[in-house]
Structures are given as C-alpha cells and as structure tokens.
Amino acid sequence: MAKTPIFAFEDIRIAIAGKEIVKGVTLAIHAGEKHAIMGPNGSGKSTLANALMGHPSYQITAGRIHLNGEDITDLEPDEKARRGMFLAFQYPVAVPGVSVANFLRSAVKARFGEQISAKDFRKTLKEKFKLLEIDESFATRYLNEGFSGGEKKRLEILQLAMLKPSIALLDETDSGLDVDALRIVADGINRHCGDDVGVLLVTHYQRLLNYVKPNFVHMFINGQIVRSGGPELALELDEKGYEGKGGDVAGEVAA
C-alpha cells in the first residue's frame, strides 16, 4: 500500500488582486524527500510558497492542501504552523521590541503546546547558535533589526531547528548569501531536515542544490510545473536557462 505523503497539494490555483498567478499545481512530498522548484523571476514560485502557508495577500481559488493526511487548506497560518508547517521567508522582516530569545520561546510554546523550562530552552538555543555559527549575543537583540542578509537567513534556519516542522517551505533561502553563509545555511537545512521532514525549496539557481541535494526538481513557468526530474534537471537549467523550456514568462507578475 502506498505511503501517505507528509505534505501534498492538488490542483492549487492562486490569485493576487483577482489575477491568477498559480494555475493548477499538484505535488506530493513524502517524509525525507527534498523537492526543488526552479524557475525565472515572476513565474509564481514565491506566490505558491506564501499561499500554501496562508499569507492573506494570496487567495487560493481552487485546490486542497494536506499535511499528514489532514486537510489544512482553510486553516489560518498560525494553525498551520502548530501542525508542523514552516516557511522561511525570502525577505525576513524585522520585529522591533521583540528579542530573538523571547520570540523563539513563544514560538516553541505555541508549536508544542507546553512550557519548556528556561534552563532547557537556553541549553537548546545555545547548541543551535553554535551549529549555525551565530553569536550568542543575538539572543538579546531584536528579531532581524539591523541584521545583515546572511544573519537573517541563518536566523530563519535557527527557527526551523527549534520548531522541528513536518514540512519546511524554504523560499529562496539562498538569496543574498555569500559562499560562507550559504554553506552554513545549507548545513543547517541538512542537519535539521532528516528522514521525518519534507522539504520544498524555492530557488532560481543551482548553487544551493550543490549543498542541499534534492530528490526531485520541478521547473516552474507561468504558474505551472512544466517539467519534473531528478537532480540532473537542476544542472541542465543552470547550464541552459529557462528559455524555450516551458513558454514565455514575459508579462507575468513578479513573485
């Protein structure tokens, strides 16, 4: 009997201000699998990731989303997160007045529904800081305020490590990273997304996939998956680009 995917969506259609951007996308991700969605700017990749998480600016007009066999299509983002969804943003926002430590402790409590002791929390946080090469002084700084692009992306992976999701949606996590930061972020993804986690990577480029090896690669053009394959597809797209491989992307809304 076929195993139930840890995360799946069927015939998802998404609109922004009445304009359809994602046009009927279906994908199933099993535990331990890493799927990469690659496509040019404006093809709708980030729209898909944000809408799946429940961002209010994106309207799902058709299709269903399932997590661990449960239909979560109509749940609010916080409820999806409690059930094990995680989205790493392309552009993480600053939250003045809220320290990294307080934010993470509140998020962990909301995710797992129990109060972790201060001692255990500090110990775990310290371990994750070390693994991601983040200075411990960041615990008392306001979330993402004054952080560099690389620091913000490492903090996103720190959140992933602390929240232990079932499905991780990583929206252009490699954007703006230098080689050293990319390696650290990729190591964090590999370390904290094991056999019990599904991963959906959204990216323009092959370079992240040199470190985080995908099981499947999907080419995304004009709001649709037009081709799927193994890691070799990412290499082909990196070498030859997207032109002539699925249609004209001119005029598509940037997302």
pLDDT in tens, 101-156: 999 999 999 998 877 788 889 999 999 999 899 999 999 999 999 999 889 999 99
CA atoms within 13 Å, Cβ hemisphere of 115: 2
Tens-digit pLDDT profile for residues 150-170 = 899 999 999 999 999 999 999
| Dihedral sign, Cα of residue 71, residue 76, residue 78, residue 79 | negative
Nearest to residue 87, comparing CAs of 54, 46, 128, 53? 53
C-alpha to C-alpha distance for 70 and 141, rounded to whole angstroms: 37
Burial of 141 (C-beta count, 10 Å sphere; 0-12/13-18/19+)? middle
The residues spanned by each domain of the chain are 7-97+165-240
Token look-up 């969605």 returns 37
Closest CA to 184 of 142, 149, 141: 149
Give the chain's residues under pLDDT 70: 1-2, 244-255
pLDDT of residue 253: 34
pLDDT at 254: 33
What does the pLDDT read at residue 204? 82
What's the chain's Rg over C-alpha atoms?
Answer: 18
Please give the C-alpha separations between residue 73 and each of 12, 188, 244, in angstroms, as whole numbers. 10, 29, 34
pLDDT at residue 2, as a whole number: 65
Residue 186: φ, ψ to 5°:
-65, -40
- Closest-CA residue to 224 (of 9, 21, 8): 21
Q: In this structure, are residues 219 and 248 in contact, taking their beta carbons and an 8 Å threshold?
A: no
CATH of the domain spanning 7-97+165-240: 3.40.50.300
**Cβ(80)–Cβ(53) under 8 Å?**
yes
Query: Are 144 and 65 in contact, with CB atoms under 8 Å apart?
Result: no
